[in-house]
Amino acid sequence: MGNVVLLWGAILLGCSCGLGPPRVGAAPLLTATYVLDDADGLGRQFDGIGAVSGGGATSRLLVNYQEPYRSQILDYLFRPNFGASLHILKVEIGGDGQSTDGTEPSHMHYENDENYFRGYEWWLMKEAKKRNPDIKLIGLPWTFPRWIGKGENWPYDYPDVTAYYIVSWILGAKQYHDLDIDYIGIWNERAFSSKYIKVLRHSLDRLGLMNIGIIAADGDWNVSKEMIVDPYLNDAIEVVGAHYPGTKTVQNAILTEKKLWSSEDYSTFNDEVGAGCWARILNQNYVNGNMTS
């Protein structure tokens, strides 16, 4: 037997908008009963609200803010039950290439080079974890160093090399910063490769990183077309993520039976009007599009 909850909604017509009493002649208080019944099962699990530090320098200035202002901003972003209280932080895996507003450095400028202290994303992830140990961390490449494609600007010709590069970033995050990455993306708003996704999944599993989920493909919903006809690809992907979906999903994405995320989205203005718009988008992403993050 499902749980049934009765919600009483009240509508006061003709009343004043302030704290004072209703105007003379105001309409009577109307009530309505809404029945919520989970007998047919529960909806999709809410996976959180997040923010992106990526696209080349979108948060570059924050690390250089003076105290106490820098810590106050970080508190407003990441402290639970305080300010934005973000559940997820996605960062760019720097690739030495211009990725929108600037360039973020790679952890591997060339094949035999490894340095896990370049850039500021490590610092930002640690500051987020310091304030909320439960926050989920995502890494996503916007660009790749040219050696990945052996001279070509295409990371999928040698999927083993690309997977090695990404897995090295994940291992470096843990070894040098004690950061556990929860999800990894493919290539921001660019083409995806089913073969590469499978190779990446195999590389993660071989190293015991089965807990790290793959998000695909951080663009449109097209990856879902291949997922529903390729069970190996479907098994490799944990989350189908789309950018700016307009609160709507597609039937193929639903058929994958995977988590559906609006993995990059935006509101309007940086004021109270934009905040209301943002809240509406978050609600409609779930109600209209079955998206949970």
Q: State the pLDDT confidence band at 251, using cuts at 50, 70 and 90.
A: very high
- Residue 260 above 80 pLDDT? yes
Q: Is residue 139 predicted with pLDDT exceeding 90?
A: yes
Catalytically annotated residues: 189, 264
What are the Cα distances from residue 226, in Å, to 159, 163, 200, 245, 259?
Answer: 18, 20, 17, 19, 16
| Mean residue pLDDT across the chain | 90
Task: Give me the pLDDT at residue 267, please.
Answer: 87
* Threshold 0.75, pTM exceeds: yes
pLDDT at 254: 96
Q: 50-184 belongs to which CATH class?
A: alpha beta
pLDDT score recorded for residue 31: 73
User: What pLDDT was estimated at residue 2?
Assistant: 52
* CB 234 within 8 Å of CB 227: yes
Q: Could you give the dihedral angle defined by the CA atoms of residues 265, 270, 275 and 277, in that order, rounded to the nearest 10 degrees?
A: -60
- Write the pLDDT tens digit of every residue in 61-75: 999 999 999 999 999
Chain centroid to Cα 274, Å, comes to 19
Highest mean pLDDT among 34-43, 53-62, 126-135: 126-135
User: How far are the Cα atoms of 170, 205, 214, 289 from residue 199, in angstroms, in the given order?
Assistant: 15, 10, 12, 30
For the cut 50, the answer to whether the pLDDT of residue 12 exceeds it is no
* Span 2-20, average pLDDT: 41
Residue 30 confidence (pLDDT): 66
CA distance 100 to 232: 33
The number of helices, as runs of H, and strands, as runs of E, in the chain is 8, 9
Which pLDDT band, with edges at 50, 70 and 90, does 3 fall under?
A: low
Looking at residue 31, what DSSP letter applies?
A: E
pLDDT(25) > 80:
no
Q: What is the pLDDT of residue 8?
A: 45
Using the Cα atoms of residue 280, residue 271, residue 267 and residue 62 in order, give the sign of their dihedral.
Answer: negative
Report residue 228 as tokens: 């529903």
Over residues 100-123, the mean pLDDT reads 96
Q: How far apart are the first and last CA of the chain?
A: 29
H or E segment at 175? helix 159-177
CB 243 within 8 A of CB 219: yes
The conformation of residue 106, written as its DSSP 8-state character, comes to -
Quick: pLDDT tens for 154-183: 999 999 999 999 999 999 999 999 999 999
d(CA 227, CA 107): 31
Report CA dihedral (10, 15, 18, 24) to the nearest 10 degrees. Answer: -140
Q: In what order do the strands lie in the sheet with 136-141?
A: 50-53, 88-93, 136-141, 183-184, 213-219, 239-243, 259-264
